[in-house]
Structure 1
């Protein structure tokens, strides 16, 4: 099989199983003291990042062999010469700093891009037992612990996923916005931006989980005036859009993917409901 269909439950559930397996593997290292390497861009990387990406890539290649795959760790030595119209975009461990510091808000991310648009996303937060995924343009959440045997039981897993709860962003409220932001990335630009809003609460969270909190109705807006890469955002961006949200840059342009001329570096953006 080589074609991928984001409206096919079997295809989506297969990707979910890969995210779950990568998350299960990450949790083995989460409970250990592990070596932390520093990449050329000064970001940290661990064996959990590398093994997680290997699990996901091997799985995708076994089933969708003709579709290009771009992953954070495999791109360390350079991007492909050509980025195709359709490709998978992976971050096997978003929030490596959170992971290293034994915080629970790190995620496994599998996104699918079609002509610059993120049309499918799977996000798994293993330490929180929260799995988010898109299917046929809708967004869903279910709870699966990383040590749950169901991860390796295809039929039981599909049954569980088919009963997942559909999620949607919440309606606008008159009593102020719940803002979600990274612990380490509340920049001066973000603080200036927030002064223009009626803010009820600022919730601190790491990784792509911030998008997920918007998608589930737990928050309203996520402003990011700091560097991110496309693999950091693709899967959760797709999830948020499927839940009724939007992601655009600070000029109002919808955030797109496959920007090789930028090295897959995102502009500053605002994710909102």
Structure 2
């Protein structure tokens, strides 16, 4: 059944992300074990519990709309999708979670016709939630004790800083990324984990985010939605818009992203 009211859905997704965040923080405050998935990436009980909460709520909020969720997909449960579906990463930045540096997020995104049209990124340790709805702008919400205390609109930096502020991944820096950075002499580097990289750009705190390394669509969709709603762009290194949906390959790799560059302004040309 197609979703009829994105504004109402947005409120429901905010509440869902906050509920998942409670479960994540309950695990975060304890001594937890770390398991290894088939691809050698780490997973904890926080990932599993948060995904269960999100899936249950999405069945109520948008019955019949397929959900591509990381842990379910890794377990081989990959539903068929069409024009409209959700992408869910219950804990993006599991390595940050394990290191307890706070830079992990709960991610929920709605995809429609290949575009991330609605995204929620919740960072429970930082008490902030970012939301973006394409064509309706983006906001940063301040959350304390399970209550939204404040919300304010955010927008990419306009004009951007020259030389730019470039976001680097804390856990996934590559030689190709360093080569990209080298094309901007004098650029300042901003370090961040998980999908918070997109959100910092959406809030005008950085200008470029190159990702020359492997990512999955559930890693990026929610942050991408926030950034685009805030006026930013996300393109492949060849300059094509980054799109979402299954590729013509089997299994998990159907949802692998190409390399991309996120920009706060089209003033910066994509340079591979």
Identify the residue that residue 93 of structure 1 maps to in structure 2. 91
Shift, 1:175, TM fit:
3.8
Identify the residue that residue 154 of structure 1 maps to in structure 2. none
Residues 173/61 of structure 1: CA separation in 2 closer, same or farther (3 Å cut): closer
Distance 1:45 1:116 in 2: 28
Query: Does residue 266 in structure 1 map to residue 266 in structure 2?
Result: no
Query: Does residue 236 in structure 1 map to residue 223 in structure 2?
Result: yes
Q: Matches of residues 1-273 of structure 1 in structure 2 within 5 Å?
A: 3-5=2-4, 7-8=6-7, 10-78=8-76, 80=78, 82-135=80-133, 137-145=136-144, 147-148=145-146, 150=147, 164-173=151-160, 175-261=162-248, 262-273=253-264
Residue deviations 1:157-208, cap 9 Å, x none? 5xx6xx6211100023454111111112221001111111134311111100
Distance 2:161 2:57 in 1: 46
Distance 1:198 1:143 in 2: 35
Residues 82/132 of structure 1: CA separation in 2 closer, same or farther (3 Å cut): same
| Higher relative contact order, chain-length normalized (CA < 8 Å, sep 6+) | 1
**Structure 2 residue ranges without an equivalent (≥5):** 265-272
Residue deviations 1:106-157, cap 9 Å, x none? 0000000011111110000000001011245311111113x33x3xxxxxx5
Report SS of the residue matched to 1:73.
helix
Distance 1:264 1:168 in 2: 28
**Structure 1 residue ranges without an equivalent (≥5):** 151-156
- Over the aligned positions, Cα root-mean-square deviation in angstroms equals 1.6
Distance 1:246 1:124 in 2: 21
Distance 1:129 1:174 in 2: 27
Residue deviations 1:76-104, cap 9 Å, x none? 13353632210011001000000011111
Give the aligned length. Answer: 259
